[in-house]
Amino acid sequence: MKRNTLSLRLFLGVTLAALVVGLTLRPKPSLTAPAPSPDRLQISGAGATFPYPIYSKWFDEYHKLHSDIEINYQSIGSGGGIRQLLSGTVDFGASDGPMTDEQLGQAKTKVLHFPTVLGAVVPTVNIPGVTAELNFTPEALAGIFLGKITKWNDPALTGPNPKVKLPAEDIVVVHRSDGSGTTYIWTDYLSKVSDEWKTKVGKNTSVNWPVGLGSKGNEGVTGQVKETPNSIGYVELIYAVQNKLPYGRVKNSSGAFVKADLDAVTAAAAGAAKNMPDDFRVSITNAPGRTAYPISSFTWLLIPAKIDDAAKRKVITDFLQWMMTKGQAYCNDLSYAQLPKPVVTKELKAISQIQ
């Protein structure tokens, strides 16, 4: 009994000491943050992983400007954003696929779409031994994702890439396992360039993929491609860039192989900027233009038109204005293209619709 008592006392003593130390030294949020004022607010949003890097930067910067406001964003995929907004469990949603009429019909109040940035979805690859940038034709991409092109040295791939030695290995396809706007953009593009894809699979935030592994979020797909040799996945540009993954050029509707960058994405939006519909729901994949990158898209914040909480309404409208004007300056560093000026003007007017 003596031995057990000693070890027990030792254990209790250590635990107590650890507790005391931990409690005294732990950060006390209530002291470091300003004293709770009536307008200290936490706003919750959820949705697309496509713009998550720029959104998290924005919310961080906005918090620095207004230390009593915290906007917490859950990057759970566009499908999740739409769903959470419709169930009312978040204050705003975010999606790279605009809400369908059916979904809008399910909402209790009208939902407004506000474009935030332009981005590109790129085919990112991990082929051991291949460092060159690959050229992808629309037929090749559709074929790979339909499961018809199964090896890297298929003629559809070696044709546009004569100088690259592609291995005779199986292609590992990686797609999204969650409801994703990035998937929406990708399948929207594939539906436009491949009739077989359009009838067999269709475009949506979540589809019945013919082949491939599923990963959660842009983050998951990037991670998966990074870990799996001979794989290809589709991700938002910044994810490939930040993780130093090679991504290919895609042939656009004018026949040029274009690499995704800010200019190419902005070029894709040029046409839409002039003819933007009032509800801002527009698709710019496979856009015309010699320098346009064919898999570009707007991404939207989904804001309810009627916000009862006056404090929240003020913060949201204020944030939107900041985002469209000063916030755009942060885009370029994170490889997102800024909103075209005509679109911003139109959006600023639309903010007044939020009551």
Partner 1 sequence: MNYRYAWRRVVNAVMLTLTGLCALVTVSALFLILGYLVYNGGRDLSWDFFTKLPKPVGETGGGMANAIVGSGKLLLLAAMIGVPVGFMGGVYLAEYGGKTFSFLVRYTADLLNGVPSVVMGIFIYTAVVIPMRGYSALAGGLALGVMLMPIVLRSTEQFLRAVPVSLREGAMALGARKWKAILTVVIPAGYKGIATGILLSLARVAGETAPLLFTSASNRFWSHGWLHGETASLPVMIFYYALSAYDDWHRQAWAAGLVLLTLVLFANIGAKLILSRSATR
Partner 2 sequence: MSLPTRPAPAGRVRSFINRLRTGDEVAHLITLLFATSIFLVTALLVFELYDNSALPRHKFGWAFFVTQTWDPVFENFGALPFIYGTVVTSALALLIAVPLGVGAAIFLAELAPRPISDALTFIIELLAAVPTVIFGLIGMFVLVPFMRVYVEPFLKATLGFLPLFKGPLYGIGFLTAGVLLGIIVIPFIVSVSREVLLAVPVDQREAALALGATKWEATWKVVVPFARTGIFGSIFLSMARALGETMAVTMVIGNVPKIATSLFAPGYSIAAIIANEFSEATGDLYVQSLVELGLVLFLLTILLNGLARLMIVATAKRGTSQE
Tell me how far, at minimum, the Cβ of 58 lies from partner 1, in Å. Answer: 9
CB atoms within 10 A of CB 6: 10
The yes or no reply on residue 204 touching partner 2 (CB under 8 A) is: yes
- Relative to beta strand 111-126, strand 172-176 is unpaired
Name residues contacting partner 1, limited to 132-171 (CB under 8 A).
none
Residue 348 interacts with partner 1 (CB under 8 A): yes or no: no
Residue among 56 and 204 whose Cβ is closer to partner 2: 204
Q: Which two tokens stand for residue 323?
A: 């985002």
Residues of this chain, 320-339, that bind partner 2 according to CB under 8 A: none
DSSP 247: B
Q: What angle do CA 56, 60, 64 make, to 5 degrees?
A: 170
Q: Which is nearer to partner 1, 59 or 319 (CB)?
A: 59
Task: Output the DSSP codes for 149-203.
Answer: --BTT-HHHHTT-TTS---SPBPEEEEESS--HHHHHHHHHHHHH-HHHHHHT--
Which of partner 1, partner 2, none sits in contact with 219, Cβ below 5 to 8 A by type? Answer: partner 1
Q: Which of 124, 126, 194, 205 binds partner 2 (CB under 8 A)?
A: 205
Helix (H) or strand (E) holding 223: helix 217-227
Q: How far is CA 102 from the centre of its chain?
A: 23
- The residue (of 14 and 348) whose beta carbon lies closer to partner 1 is 14
Q: Which of 8, 19, 21, 305 binds partner 1 (CB under 8 A)?
A: 8
What x/- string results for residues 54 through 83 when contact with partner 2 is judged by CB under 8 A?
----------------------xx-xx-xx
Which H helix or E strand runs over 19?
helix 2-25
Rank residues 213 and 256 by Cβ distance to partner 2 and give the closer one. Answer: 213
**63 sits near partner 1 (criterion: CB under 8 A):** yes
Interaction between residue 239 and partner 1 (CB under 8 A): yes
Angle between helices 310-324 and 52-65 (to 10 degrees): 110
- The mark string for 102-141 relative to partner 2 (x by CB under 8 A, - otherwise) is -x--------------------------------------
Q: Is 220 in the site for partner 1 (CB under 8 A)?
A: yes
Instruction: Considering only CA atoms, give the Rg of the chain.
Output: 24
Give one DSSP letter per residue of 88-107, joined into a string. TSSSEEEESSPPPHHHHHH-
Using the rule CB under 8 A, is 219 a contact of partner 1? yes
Query: From residue 319, how far is each of 50, 67, 297, 311, 326 by CA, in Å?
Result: 20, 13, 22, 12, 10
Q: Which residues pair with 113 in a beta bridge?
A: 302
| Using rule CB under 8 A, residue 298 touches partner 2 | no
281 binds partner 2 (CB under 8 A): no
Interacting residue with partner 1 among 242, 325, 332, 353 (CB under 8 A)? 242
Interface positions with partner 1 (CB under 8 A) = 1, 4-5, 7-8, 11, 15, 26-27, 29, 33, 36, 40, 42, 44, 52-53, 56-57, 59-60, 63, 70, 72-75, 87-90, 215-217, 219-220, 222-223, 226, 238-239, 242-243, 334
